Amino acid sequence: MKSHVITLTPVLVSLFFLIAGAPGLNAQIMDAIQTQVDHSFVIGDQTLPPGDYTFRVVNNSDISLMTVTSQDGKTVAQFGVRQAIDDRRPNHSELVFRKYGNTEFLSKVFEEGSKAGVEVTETGKQEARLVRQGLQASVHSEERK
């Protein structure tokens, strides 16, 4: 009997940590992220001017759809997303952009304190053309307080 307990102990401990860590893997952006973007940026095929925006995952979309709303409350863009995991937890909400020359494309959005965020799934015609031309994007993130 004692040998069975010794044999099962590592399995039970591993199972415990797997179950305890599972909720963190399914985390998603729960709150609206309000931010000021100081430069124009592209989502899909739509270029947005600098301004104040609210990013929000659409309810009941299974983390597959996000909207960005302008300061006046009008939905400016709706775009497809999928879950993304970062290797660190940002202290503030964070937008990640891919930059080709002077044009920036929204790439990812992370909520303050969470490694789990979303990644834009739609590549617009403009970005696809830049990639076909062989241009390499620089990636940078901007924390939003």
- Each residue's pLDDT tens digit, 23-39: 444 445 778 999 999 99
The residue among 77 and 90 whose pLDDT is bigger is 77
pTM of the shown model: 0.76
pLDDT at 20 exceeding the cut of 50: no
Averaged pLDDT score across all residues of the chain: 81
In tens, the pLDDT along 109-138 reads 999 888 999 999 988 999 999 999 999 999
In this structure, which amino acid lies at residue 127?
A: E
DSSP string, the chain: -HHHHHHHHHHHHHHHHHHHHHHHHT----S-EEEEESS-EEETTEEE-SEEEEEEEPTTSTT-EEEEEETTS-EEEEEEEEEEE-SS--SSEEEEEEEETTEEEEEEEE-TT-SEEEEE-PPPHHHHHHHHTTPPPEEEEEEE-
State the average pLDDT over residues 64-86: 91
pLDDT value of position 65: 92
The tokens for 104 are 């920036």
Specify the pLDDT at position 48: 95
In sequence order, the β-bridge partners of residue 100 are 103
Asked whether residue 86 carries a pLDDT value surpassing 90, the answer given is: no
| Pairwise CA distance, residues 53 & 33, whole Å | 8
In the chain, domain spans = 28-144
Share of the chain above pLDDT 90, in %: 53
- Choose among 112, 49, 116, 115: nearest CA to 81: 116
Q: Which residue has the higher pLDDT, 4 or 50?
A: 50
Per-residue pLDDT tens over the stretch 39-61: 999 999 999 999 999 999 988 76
